[in-house]
Protein backbone atom coordinates (compact mmCIF):
# COMPACT_ATOMS: atom_id res chain seq x y z
CA UNK A 1 0.00 0.00 0.00
CA UNK A 2 1.06 3.54 -0.75
CA UNK A 3 2.73 4.79 2.41
CA UNK A 4 1.52 8.37 2.40
CA UNK A 5 -2.16 7.63 1.87
CA UNK A 6 -4.40 7.88 4.92
CA UNK A 7 -7.46 5.70 4.56
CA UNK A 8 -10.75 7.26 5.56
CA UNK A 9 -12.97 4.93 7.60
CA UNK A 10 -16.38 6.51 7.87
CA UNK A 11 -18.49 5.52 10.87
CA UNK A 12 -21.37 7.97 10.39
CA UNK A 13 -23.76 5.03 10.05
CA UNK A 14 -22.49 3.27 13.19
CA UNK A 15 -20.86 5.51 15.82
CA UNK A 16 -22.73 8.52 14.39
CA UNK A 17 -26.11 6.88 14.08
CA UNK A 18 -26.08 5.47 17.62
CA UNK A 19 -26.55 9.00 18.98
CA UNK A 20 -30.01 9.85 20.39
CA UNK A 21 -32.08 11.55 17.70
CA UNK A 22 -29.86 10.45 14.80
CA UNK A 23 -31.62 7.14 14.08
CA UNK A 24 -32.05 6.41 10.38
CA UNK A 25 -34.14 3.82 8.57
CA UNK A 26 -32.61 1.45 6.04
CA UNK A 27 -33.53 3.59 3.02
CA UNK A 28 -31.95 6.68 4.50
CA UNK A 29 -28.82 4.68 5.34
CA UNK A 30 -28.61 3.38 1.79
CA UNK A 31 -28.73 6.91 0.40
CA UNK A 32 -25.97 8.03 2.76
CA UNK A 33 -23.85 4.91 2.04
CA UNK A 34 -24.06 5.58 -1.70
CA UNK A 35 -23.01 9.16 -1.13
CA UNK A 36 -20.06 8.09 1.07
CA UNK A 37 -18.93 5.73 -1.67
CA UNK A 38 -19.10 8.59 -4.19
CA UNK A 39 -17.22 10.85 -1.77
CA UNK A 40 -14.34 8.36 -1.90
CA UNK A 41 -14.19 6.93 1.62
CA UNK A 42 -12.14 3.73 1.87
CA UNK A 43 -14.30 2.01 4.47
CA UNK A 44 -17.96 2.41 5.42
CA UNK A 45 -18.80 1.09 8.87
CA UNK A 46 -22.42 0.26 8.08
CA UNK A 47 -23.59 -0.75 11.55
CA UNK A 48 -23.51 -3.24 14.41
CA UNK A 49 -25.44 -6.17 12.90
CA UNK A 50 -26.23 -8.06 16.10
CA UNK A 51 -27.63 -4.97 17.81
CA UNK A 52 -31.08 -5.18 16.13
CA UNK A 53 -32.82 -6.84 13.18
CA UNK A 54 -33.12 -3.39 11.59
CA UNK A 55 -29.37 -2.81 11.80
CA UNK A 56 -28.71 -6.28 10.39
CA UNK A 57 -30.91 -5.47 7.39
CA UNK A 58 -29.23 -2.12 6.86
CA UNK A 59 -25.73 -3.63 6.87
CA UNK A 60 -26.93 -6.40 4.57
CA UNK A 61 -28.51 -3.97 2.07
CA UNK A 62 -25.56 -1.58 2.18
CA UNK A 63 -23.20 -4.50 1.50
CA UNK A 64 -25.18 -5.20 -1.68
CA UNK A 65 -25.00 -1.70 -3.16
CA UNK A 66 -21.58 -0.30 -2.23
CA UNK A 67 -19.28 -0.55 -5.24
CA UNK A 68 -15.89 0.76 -4.17
CA UNK A 69 -15.50 1.02 -0.41
CA UNK A 70 -14.91 -1.81 2.04
CA UNK A 71 -18.10 -2.43 4.03
CA UNK A 72 -17.54 -3.10 7.70
CA UNK A 73 -19.69 -4.43 10.55
CA UNK A 74 -18.96 -3.98 14.25
CA UNK A 75 -18.97 -6.82 16.78
CA UNK A 76 -17.98 -7.48 20.34
CA UNK A 77 -15.44 -10.25 20.99
CA UNK A 78 -18.34 -12.68 20.98
CA UNK A 79 -18.72 -15.58 18.53
CA UNK A 80 -22.43 -15.00 17.89
CA UNK A 81 -21.78 -11.30 17.07
CA UNK A 82 -19.12 -12.34 14.58
CA UNK A 83 -21.34 -14.94 12.91
CA UNK A 84 -24.17 -12.43 12.54
CA UNK A 85 -21.83 -9.75 11.15
CA UNK A 86 -20.40 -12.23 8.63
CA UNK A 87 -23.91 -13.13 7.50
CA UNK A 88 -24.89 -9.45 7.16
CA UNK A 89 -21.75 -8.74 5.12
CA UNK A 90 -21.92 -11.76 2.85
CA UNK A 91 -22.78 -9.79 -0.32
CA UNK A 92 -20.09 -7.15 0.15
CA UNK A 93 -17.41 -6.94 -2.53
CA UNK A 94 -14.92 -6.06 0.19
CA UNK A 95 -16.22 -7.14 3.64
CA UNK A 96 -14.50 -6.33 6.94
CA UNK A 97 -15.34 -7.51 10.44
CA UNK A 98 -14.46 -5.03 13.19
CA UNK A 99 -14.12 -6.89 16.45
CA UNK A 100 -12.51 -6.09 19.77
CA UNK A 101 -12.63 -5.65 23.49
CA UNK A 102 -11.93 -3.08 26.22
CA UNK A 103 -8.27 -3.02 27.25
CA UNK A 104 -7.95 -0.27 29.89
CA UNK A 105 -7.73 -1.06 33.58
CA UNK A 106 -11.21 0.28 34.19
CA UNK A 107 -12.76 -1.80 31.39
CA UNK A 108 -10.98 -4.98 32.50
CA UNK A 109 -11.63 -4.49 36.22
CA UNK A 110 -15.14 -3.00 36.26
CA UNK A 111 -16.77 -3.83 32.92
CA UNK A 112 -15.52 -7.38 32.56
CA UNK A 113 -14.39 -8.13 36.14
CA UNK A 114 -11.59 -9.98 34.42
CA UNK A 115 -7.82 -10.05 33.97
CA UNK A 116 -5.42 -8.89 31.28
CA UNK A 117 -4.63 -12.52 30.40
CA UNK A 118 -8.29 -13.34 29.85
CA UNK A 119 -8.83 -10.22 27.73
CA UNK A 120 -5.86 -11.16 25.53
CA UNK A 121 -7.28 -14.68 25.18
CA UNK A 122 -10.69 -13.32 24.11
CA UNK A 123 -9.10 -10.87 21.66
CA UNK A 124 -7.10 -13.66 19.98
CA UNK A 125 -10.12 -15.91 19.84
CA UNK A 126 -12.33 -13.20 18.32
CA UNK A 127 -9.84 -12.24 15.60
CA UNK A 128 -9.12 -15.89 14.71
CA UNK A 129 -12.83 -16.67 14.61
CA UNK A 130 -13.57 -13.67 12.36
CA UNK A 131 -10.81 -14.82 9.99
CA UNK A 132 -12.90 -17.92 9.25
CA UNK A 133 -15.41 -15.65 7.51
CA UNK A 134 -13.41 -12.77 6.00
CA UNK A 135 -9.77 -11.94 5.21
CA UNK A 136 -10.03 -8.39 6.43
CA UNK A 137 -10.37 -8.22 10.22
CA UNK A 138 -9.96 -5.02 12.19
CA UNK A 139 -9.23 -5.35 15.91
CA UNK A 140 -10.21 -2.53 18.29
CA UNK A 141 -8.72 -2.09 21.76
CA UNK A 142 -11.55 -0.12 23.35
CA UNK A 143 -10.34 2.70 25.63
CA UNK A 144 -6.82 2.35 24.22
CA UNK A 145 -6.41 6.04 25.06
CA UNK A 146 -6.29 5.12 28.76
CA UNK A 147 -4.62 1.73 28.30
CA UNK A 148 -1.07 1.19 29.49
CA UNK A 149 1.15 1.26 26.37
CA UNK A 150 3.05 -1.96 27.20
CA UNK A 151 -0.19 -3.94 27.56
CA UNK A 152 -1.63 -2.30 24.45
CA UNK A 153 1.47 -3.36 22.49
CA UNK A 154 1.11 -6.92 23.79
CA UNK A 155 -2.55 -7.27 22.81
CA UNK A 156 -1.91 -5.67 19.39
CA UNK A 157 0.93 -8.13 18.78
CA UNK A 158 -1.38 -11.03 19.59
CA UNK A 159 -4.11 -9.60 17.34
CA UNK A 160 -1.62 -9.43 14.44
CA UNK A 161 -0.51 -13.02 15.13
CA UNK A 162 -4.18 -14.04 14.97
CA UNK A 163 -4.57 -12.36 11.58
CA UNK A 164 -5.74 -8.78 12.23
CA UNK A 165 -5.19 -6.56 9.19
CA UNK A 166 -6.00 -3.30 10.98
CA UNK A 167 -5.39 -2.26 14.61
CA UNK A 168 -7.83 0.33 15.87
CA UNK A 169 -6.51 2.41 18.79
CA UNK A 170 -9.61 4.25 20.06
CA UNK A 171 -9.44 7.17 22.42
CA UNK A 172 -12.93 6.11 23.47
CA UNK A 173 -13.37 8.74 26.16
CA UNK A 174 -11.65 11.60 24.32
CA UNK A 175 -9.13 11.89 27.13
CA UNK A 176 -5.74 12.03 25.39
CA UNK A 177 -3.73 15.09 24.48
CA UNK A 178 -2.44 15.14 20.89
CA UNK A 179 1.19 14.65 22.01
CA UNK A 180 0.22 11.72 24.17
CA UNK A 181 -1.94 10.07 21.50
CA UNK A 182 0.76 10.60 18.86
CA UNK A 183 3.35 9.08 21.23
CA UNK A 184 1.08 6.07 21.78
CA UNK A 185 0.96 5.38 18.03
CA UNK A 186 4.74 5.86 17.79
CA UNK A 187 5.23 3.44 20.70
CA UNK A 188 3.15 0.80 18.91
CA UNK A 189 5.07 1.32 15.67
CA UNK A 190 8.33 0.79 17.56
CA UNK A 191 7.33 -1.97 19.97
CA UNK A 192 4.83 -4.28 18.27
CA UNK A 193 6.45 -7.18 16.43
CA UNK A 194 5.35 -7.41 12.77
CA UNK A 195 3.51 -4.08 13.04
CA UNK A 196 4.10 -3.55 9.30
CA UNK A 197 1.61 -6.39 8.66
CA UNK A 198 -1.26 -4.22 9.93
CA UNK A 199 -2.53 -0.68 9.41
CA UNK A 200 -2.84 1.39 12.58
CA UNK A 201 -6.15 3.24 12.83
CA UNK A 202 -7.10 6.31 14.91
CA UNK A 203 -10.60 6.43 16.38
CA UNK A 204 -10.86 9.56 18.52
CA UNK A 205 -13.78 11.01 20.44
CA UNK A 206 -14.25 14.70 21.01
CA UNK A 207 -14.98 15.05 24.75
CA UNK A 208 -12.25 17.67 25.14
CA UNK A 209 -12.55 19.03 21.60
CA UNK A 210 -9.35 17.21 20.60
CA UNK A 211 -10.61 14.41 18.35
CA UNK A 212 -9.35 15.91 15.11
CA UNK A 213 -6.02 17.05 16.60
CA UNK A 214 -5.46 13.60 18.07
CA UNK A 215 -6.24 11.84 14.79
CA UNK A 216 -3.80 14.06 12.93
CA UNK A 217 -1.15 13.44 15.61
CA UNK A 218 -1.77 9.72 15.11
CA UNK A 219 -1.31 9.99 11.35
CA UNK A 220 1.87 12.04 11.73
CA UNK A 221 3.23 9.26 13.94
CA UNK A 222 2.43 6.44 11.55
CA UNK A 223 -1.30 5.65 11.63
CA UNK A 224 -2.66 5.18 8.11
CA UNK A 225 -6.39 5.04 8.77
CA UNK A 226 -8.60 7.63 10.46
CA UNK A 227 -12.08 6.76 11.70
CA UNK A 228 -14.44 9.69 11.47
CA UNK A 229 -17.97 10.86 10.80
CA UNK A 230 -19.61 13.51 8.67
CA UNK A 231 -20.09 16.68 10.74
CA UNK A 232 -18.24 14.95 13.62
CA UNK A 233 -21.44 13.37 14.94
CA UNK A 234 -21.09 10.50 17.40
CA UNK A 235 -21.33 9.42 21.02
CA UNK A 236 -21.44 12.31 23.52
CA UNK A 237 -19.36 15.17 22.06
CA UNK A 238 -18.89 13.21 18.85
CA UNK A 239 -16.13 11.66 16.77
CA UNK A 240 -13.40 13.12 14.61
CA UNK A 241 -15.02 15.12 11.79
CA UNK A 242 -14.25 13.64 8.36
CA UNK A 243 -14.30 17.02 6.62
CA UNK A 244 -11.75 18.41 9.09
CA UNK A 245 -9.12 15.68 8.72
CA UNK A 246 -9.49 15.66 4.94
CA UNK A 247 -8.99 19.41 4.67
CA UNK A 248 -6.16 19.53 7.22
CA UNK A 249 -4.18 16.99 5.19
CA UNK A 250 -5.02 18.86 2.00
CA UNK A 251 -4.07 22.28 3.38
CA UNK A 252 -0.77 21.02 4.82
CA UNK A 253 1.01 19.30 1.92
CA UNK A 254 4.31 19.39 3.86
CA UNK A 255 2.89 16.54 5.99
CA UNK A 256 3.10 14.43 2.84
CA UNK A 257 -0.14 12.63 3.70
CA UNK A 258 -3.25 12.52 1.59
CA UNK A 259 -6.68 10.94 1.30
CA UNK A 260 -8.72 9.93 -1.74
CA UNK A 261 -11.72 12.03 -0.75
CA UNK A 262 -13.32 14.24 -3.40
CA UNK A 263 -13.39 17.34 -1.21
CA UNK A 264 -15.79 19.15 -3.58
CA UNK A 265 -18.56 16.86 -2.29
CA UNK A 266 -17.96 17.63 1.40
CA UNK A 267 -20.48 20.42 1.81
CA UNK A 268 -23.34 18.65 0.04
CA UNK A 269 -22.62 15.47 2.00
CA UNK A 270 -22.72 17.44 5.23
CA UNK A 271 -26.10 18.90 4.27
CA UNK A 272 -27.42 15.46 3.32
CA UNK A 273 -26.41 13.97 6.68
CA UNK A 274 -27.82 16.84 8.73
CA UNK A 275 -31.13 16.70 6.83
CA UNK A 276 -31.52 12.92 7.01
CA UNK A 277 -30.57 12.80 10.69
CA UNK A 278 -32.30 16.00 11.70
CA UNK A 279 -29.04 16.90 13.44
CA UNK A 280 -28.23 20.59 13.47
CA UNK A 281 -24.64 21.77 12.78
CA UNK A 282 -23.31 24.73 14.74
CA UNK A 283 -22.83 27.76 12.42
CA UNK A 284 -19.17 28.12 13.44
CA UNK A 285 -18.35 24.45 12.67
CA UNK A 286 -15.08 24.22 10.71
CA UNK A 287 -15.40 23.58 6.96
CA UNK A 288 -19.17 22.99 6.75
CA UNK A 289 -20.77 25.42 9.24
CA UNK A 290 -22.95 28.23 7.86
CA UNK A 291 -20.34 30.80 8.91
CA UNK A 292 -17.24 28.86 7.82
CA UNK A 293 -16.84 31.15 4.79
CA UNK A 294 -18.82 34.18 6.01
CA UNK A 295 -17.13 37.46 6.85
CA UNK A 296 -18.90 40.05 8.93
CA UNK A 297 -16.46 42.53 10.43
CA UNK A 298 -15.53 45.55 8.33
CA UNK A 299 -11.78 44.95 8.55
CA UNK A 300 -12.09 41.32 7.43
CA UNK A 301 -14.57 42.13 4.69
CA UNK A 302 -12.32 44.82 3.25
CA UNK A 303 -9.41 42.34 3.23
CA UNK A 304 -11.41 39.50 1.63
CA UNK A 305 -12.89 41.76 -1.06
CA UNK A 306 -9.35 42.90 -1.99
CA UNK A 307 -7.92 39.39 -1.84
CA UNK A 308 -9.80 36.31 -0.59
CA UNK A 309 -6.67 34.75 0.91
CA UNK A 310 -6.25 37.62 3.36
CA UNK A 311 -8.73 35.95 5.70
CA UNK A 312 -9.46 32.57 4.08
CA UNK A 313 -7.10 29.60 4.07
CA UNK A 314 -9.46 27.41 2.03
CA UNK A 315 -11.02 28.25 -1.31
CA UNK A 316 -14.72 27.56 -0.56
CA UNK A 317 -15.09 25.87 -3.96
CA UNK A 318 -12.63 23.22 -2.75
CA UNK A 319 -15.28 21.95 -0.35
CA UNK A 320 -18.26 22.56 -2.60
CA UNK A 321 -19.35 25.95 -1.23
CA UNK A 322 -20.06 28.28 -4.15
CA UNK A 323 -18.54 31.44 -2.68
CA UNK A 324 -17.54 33.28 0.47
CA UNK A 325 -20.30 35.35 2.04
CA UNK A 326 -19.97 39.00 2.89
CA UNK A 327 -22.57 39.38 5.63
CA UNK A 328 -23.88 42.86 6.33
CA UNK A 329 -24.12 43.73 10.02
CA UNK A 330 -23.53 46.82 12.13
CA UNK A 331 -19.83 45.87 12.14
CA UNK A 332 -19.58 46.04 8.35
CA UNK A 333 -17.83 48.84 6.50
CA UNK A 334 -18.39 50.79 3.30
CA UNK A 335 -16.40 48.29 1.19
CA UNK A 336 -18.79 45.50 2.14
CA UNK A 337 -21.88 47.58 1.44
CA UNK A 338 -20.52 48.68 -1.96
CA UNK A 339 -19.68 45.05 -2.77
CA UNK A 340 -23.10 43.70 -1.83
CA UNK A 341 -24.90 46.60 -3.56
CA UNK A 342 -22.91 45.87 -6.74
CA UNK A 343 -23.95 42.19 -6.51
CA UNK A 344 -27.59 43.23 -6.66
CA UNK A 345 -27.11 45.77 -9.46
CA UNK A 346 -26.02 49.12 -7.95
CA UNK A 347 -22.68 50.63 -8.92
CA UNK A 348 -22.35 53.38 -6.28
CA UNK A 349 -20.48 56.67 -6.58
CA UNK A 350 -18.60 57.89 -3.51
CA UNK A 351 -21.42 60.32 -2.66
CA UNK A 352 -24.10 57.65 -3.05
CA UNK A 353 -22.08 55.22 -0.93
CA UNK A 354 -21.73 57.77 1.89
CA UNK A 355 -25.46 58.38 1.86
CA UNK A 356 -26.30 54.67 1.62
CA UNK A 357 -23.90 53.83 4.43
CA UNK A 358 -25.57 56.25 6.87
CA UNK A 359 -28.98 54.72 6.14
CA UNK A 360 -27.51 51.21 6.24
CA UNK A 361 -26.16 51.77 9.78
CA UNK A 362 -29.65 52.63 11.01
CA UNK A 363 -30.95 49.35 9.59
CA UNK A 364 -27.98 47.39 10.90
CA UNK A 365 -28.40 48.70 14.45
CA UNK A 366 -32.03 47.59 14.43
CA UNK A 367 -31.62 44.11 12.95
CA UNK A 368 -29.12 41.23 13.12
CA UNK A 369 -28.35 41.26 9.42
CA UNK A 370 -29.06 43.53 6.45
CA UNK A 371 -30.30 41.47 3.51
CA UNK A 372 -30.65 42.13 -0.24
CA UNK A 373 -34.23 43.31 0.14
CA UNK A 374 -33.03 45.96 2.60
CA UNK A 375 -30.36 47.08 0.13
CA UNK A 376 -33.06 47.79 -2.47
CA UNK A 377 -35.03 49.82 0.11
CA UNK A 378 -31.89 51.68 1.17
CA UNK A 379 -31.15 52.50 -2.48
CA UNK A 380 -34.67 53.90 -2.97
CA UNK A 381 -34.04 56.22 -0.02
CA UNK A 382 -30.63 57.19 -1.44
CA UNK A 383 -32.20 58.05 -4.81
CA UNK A 384 -34.94 60.13 -3.11
CA UNK A 385 -32.39 62.07 -1.05
CA UNK A 386 -30.15 62.63 -4.11
CA UNK A 387 -33.10 64.07 -6.08
CA UNK A 388 -34.06 66.46 -3.23
CA UNK A 389 -30.44 67.61 -2.91
O1 LIG B 1 -15.11 4.54 20.74
C2 LIG B 1 -14.85 3.33 20.63
O3 LIG B 1 -14.01 2.79 21.33
C4 LIG B 1 -15.60 2.57 19.64
C5 LIG B 1 -15.19 1.16 19.41
C6 LIG B 1 -16.35 0.25 19.50
C7 LIG B 1 -14.44 1.02 18.12
O8 LIG B 1 -16.48 3.10 19.00
ZN1 LIG C 1 -16.31 5.30 19.09
- Per-residue pLDDT at 117: 98
Using the CB atoms, write b or e for 81-109: b if 16+ within 10 Å: bbbbbbebbeebebbbbbbbbbbbeebbe
pLDDT tens by residue, 125-140: 999 999 999 999 999 9
Ligand nearest to the CA of 201: 1
CA of 172 to the centre of ligand 1 (A): 6
Same domain, 358 and 211: no
Q: Using the predicted structure, report yes or no on whether residue 388 has a pLDDT greater than 80.
A: no
Q: For 265-324, write each residue's pLDDT tens digit.
A: 999 999 999 999 999 999 999 999 999 999 999 999 999 999 999 999 999 999 999 989
Residue 282 lies in a domain: no
Instruction: Give CA 229 to chain center in angstroms.
Output: 4
Output the pLDDT for position 1.
Answer: 59
d(Cα 172, Cα 206) in Å, to the nearest integer? Answer: 9
Distance 170 CA to ligand 2 centre (A): 7
Residue 2 within any structural domain of the chain: no
Question: Per-residue pLDDT tens for 79-100?
Answer: 999 999 999 999 999 999 999 9
Q: Is 99 in the pocket of ligand 1 (CB under 6 A)?
A: no
Q: Is the pLDDT of residue 382 over 80?
A: yes
Find out whether 95 and 65 touch, Cβ atoms under 8 Å: no
9 lines ligand 1 (CB under 6 A): no
Q: CA-CA distance, 232 to 239, in Å (whole number)? A: 5
Pairing of strands 294-295, 325-326: parallel
33 within some domain: yes
Nearest Cα to 48, choosing from 89, 20, 7? 89
- Tell me, what's the pLDDT at 371? 97
Band (pLDDT 50/70/90 cuts) for residue 21 is confident
Range from 16-20, 157-161, 346-350 carrying the lowest mean pLDDT:
16-20
Q: How many residues does the chain have?
A: 389
Answer whether residue 389 shows pLDDT above 70. no
- Per-residue b or e along 212-226, where b marks 16 or more CB atoms closer than 10 Å to that residue's CB: bbbbbbbbbbbbbbb
Return all residues near 93 (Cβ < 8 A) that are at least 6 apart: 66, 67, 71
Cα–Cα dist 138/135, whole Å: 10
Q: What is the pLDDT of residue 270?
A: 98
Nearest atom of ligand 1 to the alpha carbon of 11: 8
User: Ligand 1 in contact with 182 (CB < 6 A)?
Assistant: no
pLDDT surpassing 70 at residue 356: yes
Does residue 1 belong to any structural domain of this protein? no
User: Are 241 and 311 part of one and the same domain?
Assistant: no
Residues 136, 253 within the same domain: yes
CB of 15 sitting under 6 A from ligand 1: yes
Residue 286 counted as domain residue: no
Q: Is the CB of 168 under 6 A from ligand 1?
A: yes
Structural domain range at position 61: 7-277
Percent over 90 (pLDDT), the chain: 96
Residue 162: closest CA among 140, 130, 115: 130
Domain termination residue (choose one: 212, 245, 277):
277
Report every protein residue that has its C-beta within 5 angstroms of ion ligand 2.
Answer: 15
Same domain, 238 and 332: no
Amino acid sequence: MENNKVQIFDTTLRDGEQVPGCKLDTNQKLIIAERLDLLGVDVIEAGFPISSPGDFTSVNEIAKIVKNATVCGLTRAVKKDIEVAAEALKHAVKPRIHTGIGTSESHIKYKFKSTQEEVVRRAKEAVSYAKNFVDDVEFYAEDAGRTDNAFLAKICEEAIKSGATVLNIPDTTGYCLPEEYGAKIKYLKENVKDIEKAIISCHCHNDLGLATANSIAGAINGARQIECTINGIGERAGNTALEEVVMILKQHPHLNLHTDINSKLLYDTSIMVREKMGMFVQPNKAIVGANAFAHSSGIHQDGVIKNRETYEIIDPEEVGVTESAIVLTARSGRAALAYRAKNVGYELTKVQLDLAYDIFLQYADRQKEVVNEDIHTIMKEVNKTSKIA
